[in-house]
Amino acid sequence: MEGPMTALSVLLAVTVRWAVSLYPYSGARKPPMYGDYEAQRHWQEVTLGLPVKQWYFNSTDNDLLYWGLDYPPLTAYHSLLCGYVAHMINPDWVVLNSSRGYESHHHKLFMRATVLVADLVIYIPAVLLYCSHLQETSAKRKALSLSCILLYPGLILIDYGHFQYNSVSLGFALWGILALSCGYEALGSLAFCLALNYKQMELYHSLPFFCFLLGKCFKQGITGWGLLLLLKIGVTVIAAFSLCWIPFLTDIEQILQVLRRLFPVGRGLFEDKVANVWCSLSVLFKVKNVLSPGAQLQLSFACTVLGVLPSCIQLTARPTIRGFKLSLVTCALSFFLFSFQVHEKSILLASLPACLLLNELPLMATWFLLTSTFSMLPLLQKDGLVMPYVITTLMFLLGSVAFLSFHEKTSEDCLQMKPFCASVRKYIPWFRLQESLVKMLFFSSMLAMTALTAASCTLAPPPTLPDLYSVLISTVSCIHFLMFFSYFSIIQLWDKVDERKKKKNS
């Protein structure tokens, strides 16, 4: 990549991140529970002030109803590290029990800095390396792709506005993708194990990783080199999990308690308004009132499995890096749309692989990333982040137009729909994917999202329908996500890139 452009891209990305961090965070000055900012601060207090074996158990010093730890051990260790640094700067920030709800300018500066440091150490270097390895791409376009990925507003707004550390788990996952792209299966497995041990939601990506690696083993011969590769991967995974879970492996009750905290199935099918099928369907059909909790769990599991099955079978049969990236999007979207107890922020798990497709599928990837950010608007409004939402979204949109020219790439070939359309034309000869139709759908989509954003920010909803805008936003986003799920599934299942390359070479 071009050095000056790369440096400028990273500098711009860091500047935008820090500018967003000047805005309010989740739960600012909202007792008694505050929000995710307080949750992260409280975990520092708990991990620093209590023995490891008490971190996940309810006690007088660890009220699990007040932001109890509900992420895997690697998150807890990260909280402990941040807690040590916080204690060195100002012990009042992390005093057990008495520091609850602590808010100050200096503490906000420290917390925001911890997010930026994690980003600079894990996520941004992974994006840099990914863009530098883009094939059949000029140095200039690599730098421009880097800018677009780093300016994706959804991740910036949640980590630097709302307040979380999603860049850590997503960064580890990206390192795993990079390692597998370079043929380092054990390193890729290790990186993904770290991602999974930081946030359990990385299970959204687990099936593509598993199927890709299994397919590689089959390809090398399951009784020969493939078996050795399988054993190497297995040893790596067991060793990584063992290291992360060492303090909890001495007692079976410790393990079970951590698992209970990680997977709280008692919360129900969904809580807040989220842009998935179950929440959108509840507008017409109250699933929660008709089905028992057990039946809801079984239904969501069945639908999720059916959603991921075609992608996983295809990836196992043809383990290509391109198919792997497409499968990461479709599987993450299937989990988001159909699985149990989904949070609106979970769309970031589908957004990461979509970012990796910006160079190959600029229109659909950009469209998806804009929709994913829009789907979190009710949460961002609650946190007072409407202004940074508008500015970062416009920056990303204008950057994608200028750098990727996605609005010009609407043909069957540019959308990589040619193999699918050719298959359809065998039965419907007149079928054509019109460029004018694609453009009309895109601009109609942008208009609808703009109108809903403006209405929700300026017009009060009717007293009888207080959740009108959040329901409309989640439903419109869900319709979009179903379309994207279908599109990326089609692209993967009808992928003929390898065949075209073989023909060119022969």
| Whether residue 55 has pLDDT greater than 90 | yes
Average confidence score pLDDT of the chain: 92
pLDDT in tens, 448-468: 999 999 999 999 999 999 999
Per residue in 80-106, pLDDT tens? 999 999 999 999 999 998 999 999 999
Encode pLDDT of 125-134 as tens digits.
999 999 998 8
Query: Whose structure tokens read 């440091």?
Result: 117
Please report the DSSP string for 246-294 in residue order. GGGTT-HHHHHHHHHHH--GGG-S--S--SSHHHHHTTTS-HHHHS-HH
**Averaged pLDDT for residues 318-342:** 95
| pLDDT confidence of residue 1 | 64
Taking the alpha carbons at both ends of the chain, their separation in whole angstroms is 31
Q: Could you tell me which of 100, 320, 70, 347 has the C-alpha nearest to residue 208?
A: 320
pLDDT in tens, 353-386: 999 999 999 999 999 999 999 999 999 999 999 9
121: Cβ–Cβ under 8 A, 6 or more apart, which residues? none
Which amino acid, residue 354? Answer: A
Question: In whole angstroms, what is the distance from residue 112 CA to residue 485 CA?
Answer: 34
Which band of pLDDT confidence, cut at 50, 70 and 90, is reported for residue 9? very high
Q: Is the pLDDT of residue 284 over 90?
A: no
> Could you tell me the two tokens for 500?
């075209």
Contact (CB, 8 A) for 232 and 185: yes
pTM: 0.94
Long-range contacts of 446-452 (CB under 8 A, 24+ apart): 446/370, 448/476, 449/370, 449/371, 449/374, 449/476, 452/374, 452/377, 452/476
Contact (CB, 8 A) for 492 and 330: yes
Higher pLDDT pick, 169 / 31: 169
| The predicted structure's pLDDT at residue 283 | 84
pLDDT in the model for residue 478: 96
Question: Which pLDDT does position 309 carry in this prediction?
Answer: 97
Report pLDDT for 503.
Answer: 44
Instruction: Indicate the helix (H) or strand (E) that contains 151.
Output: none
CB 406 within 8 A of CB 362: yes
Flag the least confident range among 231-235, 352-356, 409-413, 424-428: 409-413
DSSP 62: B
Q: What are phi and psi of 226, to 5 degrees?
A: -60, -35
| Cβ-based neighbour number of residue 442 at 10 Å | 18
DSSP 410: -
Model pLDDT, residue 262: 92
Instruction: Give me the mean pLDDT over the 174-193 stretch.
Output: 96
- Between these two residues, 496 and 40, which has the higher pLDDT value? 40
Which amino acid makes up residue 387?
M
Q: In the predicted model, is pLDDT for residue 498 greater than 80? A: no
Provide the pLDDT for residue 2.
66
Give every CB contact of residue 423 below 8 A, 6+ residues apart in sequence. 494
The answer for residues whose C-beta is within 8 angstroms of residue 372's C-beta and 6 or more apart is: 154, 347, 348, 350, 351, 354, 477
CA gap 378, 393 in Å, rounded: 15
Amino acid at 42: H
Look at residue 264 in the predicted model and tell me its pLDDT: 77
State yes or no: pLDDT of 157 exceeds 80: yes
pLDDT in tens, 168-182: 999 999 999 999 999
Q: Which of 362, 332, 327 is nearest to 347 (CA)?
A: 332
Burial (CB count <10 Å: 0-12, 13-18, 19+), residue 194: buried
The single residue listed with the structure tokens 């590689």 is 216
Mean pLDDT lowest among 18-22, 243-247, 264-268: 264-268
Tell me if 419 sits within 8 A of 495, measured CB to CB: yes
Short-list 34, 197, 17, CA closest to 123:
17
Rounded CA-CA distance 198/202 in Å is 8
Higher local confidence (pLDDT), 238 or 137: 238
Residue 72 or residue 402, greater confidence? 72
What ranges do the domains of the chain cover? 264-506
Query: Residue 139: what pLDDT?
Result: 83
